[in-house]
Amino acid sequence: MSDHCETVCEIVSAVTTGHTTATAVLEERLRRIATSDEKLGCFQDTREDTARAMAAAVDAKIAAGEAVGPLAGVPIAFKDNIMVTGEPATCGSRILENFISPYDATVTERLRDAGAVLLGRTRCDEFAMGSSTEHCAFGPVRNPWDPDRVPGGSSGGSAAAVAAGFVPCSLGSDTGGSIRQPAAFCGITGLKPTGGRVSRWGLVSFAPSMDQIGPFTRTAEDAALLLQVMAGQDPRDDTSASTDQVGGVAALQAPLEGLRIGIPTEHISDENDHGVNAAVQQAADVFRSLGCEVKPVRLKTTDLGIACYYVLGPAEASSNLARFDGIRYGRRADDSGDGLEALYAASRSEGLGPEARRRIMLGTYVLSAGYYDAYYKRALQVRRLIHDEYARIYSEVDLLLGPTVPSVAFKFGSHADPISMYLCDKYTVTANIAGTCGVSIPCGTIDTDGVALPVGVQLQGPVLGEDILLRAAHQFQCATDFHTAQPTLA
Amino acid sequence: MGTTTDLTMQQVQHVAALARLALTDEEMIAIGKDLQAILHHVDKLSEVDVTGVKPLTSPHSHCSRLHDDMAEPPLAAKTVLDLAPATEGDFIAVPKVLTGGGDA
C-alpha cells in the first residue's frame, strides 16, 4: 500500500480519488493486526467479515459514482464499552462476557453513515476504571514502544492500536483522563471533547457527569474530522450539546498569532518525571514561535482534583453499576437457593474484578447514610470551585498547556498501590470535573532504561472550545514532526 | 468531614451488603485497607473552605434540557428476553423473591 495512507485524511483522499480502495486499505490493516497483535493484545475482537462487507460497500458506491461520506473507507476500532448492534460489548468485564448489544451507540450510527469501516473492539480496563489497561478481565494490552510497559488506560487498546498502525483512528472514552493519558503514553493524539459535545447514548455508563467519547488519531486534523462527524445534539442524550456543529478541518487553518496560552505553575511540578517539564517548555517555545503569548498562570485547585474525582466518580459508578445484577442481562451465578438478594451478590462478586469492586465499595460508602454530606456533597462543592476557577482562567487565556501525565509509560505491576495509579490522572481529571475539553499531543521522547518513550503535552480549552484547541494542536503539528514518530514492532 | 477514622470490619461488611457484593473475609480486609488509604487522600477536601458554595452536580448546564414527552418504539420483547440469562416463556426467570411468612 502507498506510504501516503497512514492518516485518516490521507485515506479518505486516496479512496475517494481512486488511488486506492477501501478494501485495499482494510486488508493492509488486517495484515498488520494478524502479524503483530498477538504480542500487543490491543483487540478483544476483530470483525473481519462485516468489515470487508462495509469496505466493499464503500468501493461499490465509488465505482457507481455515488456520493460517499466524509470517512469513506476509514478503518476504525472501538473501545469495548461502545455499543455496535449484534456485537459484544464486554467493557473488559466477565460480567458482560456474553452480552450482545441490542442497538447501536449514536457514535456508531454516525460513523457508519460517514462511511467508516468498523474493524473491531479494543481492550480496556474493566468498566473504564484504570490508567494502565492491566485491569481488563481478558488480558492486558502492551505498549508498542516497549512491550514491558503499559499503554496507559483505560482506553489502552484503542491507543496502542493507533500507535502500532493497526488502525488510523479509534474511539475511547475519557472520564478522568482515559483518552489523553494513553495517547500520551503511546505517542499519539487523543481528544477529550467538552462534556456533552458527543452523545453518550450507547456508551456503557461509568460516571455520566464526566464520561465523554473521543477519538485517538495520529494528527489533530484527523481528530477534527472525526469530531465533526460524531458531535451534535442527540434526542437520546439530554446532556448532548445543542450548540452548532464544530468547524472540522476547515477551522484549523488560521494562524495562532496573538493566542494566549497559560501554563499552570501547579503542573510544572518537581514530582514529574525527569524530562517531562523540559518537554513542556520546548512545546511552549514552539507556540511562542507561532506568535502565541505564553505565560504562567495559577490553577490552585489542581491538587484537589484526584480527591474530588475519587468521591464523585465512584459515587456515580456505584449507582450505575448497580444494574449489573445477573437478572436482565450479563452473567448470572448458579442459584444457591438462598433467594434473589443472594443471587445478586453472587453474580456481582463472580463477575466484577478488583478495581470495579473497589470503586463500587468506595462509592457506596460515600453515598451511605451519615457520610453523604461529609463526602459527596463536599466534593460537589469543591467541584464548583474547580469549575469556577477554570471559567475565570479562560477569561484571561484562550488555552492551557502542561504535561498530560506526570510520567512516561510505566512497567507492568509498578503501580499496584491504587493511589499511585490514581495520581497518573492528576493533570487530566479536572477537565472532566469542570466539563471542559482537552487534547494530548506528542511532544518528543524521553530515554528511559535505554528506550525512547513518548511524552505528551496536554492542551486544555474551555467548554465547547474544540475549534481553537484543535487549531493550536494542528498548527503545532505543522511546525513539528513529533507526531510522525512510530514504534518499531518486534 | 474531619480526618477519617479507622473503618471497622463491621462498616466494611455493611457497605458490601449495601453494594450487593459477597466478599470473603480476606477480600473484606484487603478492600477495607484500600478504602482507608483512598479516604485518607480524600480527606484533603475537608481542608477547603466551602462556606456558601453551591454543590455542582453536573457541568452539563450548557446543554441539559427536558425531553419531549413522546412515545418512541421500544426494543422488541424478544430482543430483551434474548439478553436475559434465564427465561420462562415470555418472562425473565428469577429465584423466589418472598421467603417465609407466606402461605405459598
Q: What's the pLDDT score for residue B61?
A: 74
- SS3 for B19? coil
pLDDT in tens, chain B (104 residues): 445 568 999 999 999 999 999 999 999 999 999 999 999 999 999 999 999 999 999 998 766 777 788 888 899 999 999 999 999 999 999 998 876 554 44
Residues of chain B contacting residue A417, judged by C-beta atoms under 8 Å apart: 37
Q: How many CB atoms lie within 10 A of CB A381?
A: 20
A272-292 pLDDT tens trace: 998 999 999 999 999 999 999
> For the whole model, what pTM was predicted?
0.96
Tell me which chain A residue has its CA closest to the CA of residue B49.
A382
Q: What's the pLDDT score for residue B29?
A: 95
- Of the candidates A93, A101, A131, A154, the residue annotated as catalytic is A154
Q: Is A79 a catalytic residue?
A: yes
Burial string for A425-458 (b: 16+ CB within 10 Å, else e) reads bbbbbbbbbbbbbbbbbbbbbbebeebbbbbbbb
Is A55 contained in some domain?
yes
User: Strand locations in A188-252, DSSP E?
Assistant: 189-192, 213-217
Residues of chain B contacting residue A337, judged by C-beta atoms under 8 Å apart: 95
Is A175 contained in some domain?
yes
Q: What's the pLDDT score for residue B6?
A: 81
Contact B56 A195 (CB under 8 A): no
Q: Give the residue from A159, A237, A153, A225 showing the smallest Cα distance to A198.
A: A237
A191-218 pLDDT tens trace: 999 999 999 999 999 999 999 999 999 9
Contact A102 B59 (CB under 8 A): no
Task: Give the mutation candidate from A239, A334, A463 for the B interface (greatest B CB count, under 10 A).
Answer: A239
Q: Where are the domains of chain B?
A: 1-49
Whole-angstrom distance, CA of residue A241 vs CA of residue B18: 35
User: What's the count of helices (H) and strands (E) in chain B, helices before strands?
Assistant: 3, 2
| Identity of residue A313 | G
Q: What's the pLDDT score for residue B76?
A: 94
B93 DSSP assignment? -
CA distances from A165 to A25, A161, A382 (A): 12, 6, 41
- Model ipTM? 0.93
**pLDDT of A47 over the 80 cut:** yes
Is A299 contained in some domain?
no
A262 DSSP assignment? E
Is A343 contained in some domain?
no
Contact A463 B59 (CB under 8 A): yes
Query: Regarding beta strands A213-217 and A189-192, do their DSSP bridges make them parallel or antiparallel, or are they unpaired?
Result: antiparallel
What number is the average pLDDT over the span A237-258?
A: 89
Residues of chain B contacting residue A311, judged by C-beta atoms under 8 Å apart: 42, 45
Whole-angstrom distance, CA of residue A38 vs CA of residue A57: 29
Whole-angstrom distance, CA of residue A489 vs CA of residue A434: 38
Contact B18 A382 (CB under 8 A): no
A63-75 pLDDT tens trace: 999 999 999 999 9
Cβ atoms of A252 and A9 closer than 8 Å:
no
Contact B95 A337 (CB under 8 A): yes
**pLDDT of A323 over the 80 cut:** yes
B1-49: which CATH architecture?
Answer: Orthogonal Bundle (1.10)
Instruction: Tally C-beta pairs within 8 A across A and B.
Output: 186
**pLDDT of A365 over the 90 cut:** yes
CB contact, 8 Å: A346 with chain B? yes
Q: Which residues contact A232 (CB under 8 A, 6 or more apart)?
A: A199, A240, A241, A245
A119-153 pLDDT tens trace: 999 999 999 999 999 999 999 999 999 999 999 99
Is A381 contained in some domain?
no
Contact B31 A361 (CB under 8 A): yes
Task: Give the mutation candidate from B20, B34, B39, B98 for the A interface (greatest A CB count, under 10 A).
Answer: B20
Scanning B42-101 for CB atoms below 8 A from A yields 42-46, 48, 50, 53-60, 62-68, 75, 79-80, 82-86, 92, 94-97, 99
**pLDDT of A375 over the 50 cut:** yes
Assigned C-alpha cell, A297: 498562570
Is A336 contained in some domain?
no
As to burial, measured by CB atoms within 10 angstroms (0-12 exposed, 13-18 middle, 19+ buried), residue B65 is exposed
**pLDDT of A44 over the 60 cut:** yes
A417 DSSP assignment? S
Q: Is A170 a catalytic residue?
A: no
Domain of A173, CATH number, reads 3.90.1300.10
A99-109 pLDDT tens trace: 999 999 999 99
A380-416 pLDDT tens trace: 999 999 999 999 999 999 999 999 999 999 999 999 9
What's the number of domains chain A is made of? 1
Structural domain range at position A479: 8-241+251-260+464-484
Whole-angstrom distance, CA of residue A371 vs CA of residue A376: 8
Mean pLDDT of chain A: 96
Q: What's the pLDDT score for residue A304?
A: 98
Q: What's the pLDDT score for residue B100?
A: 59
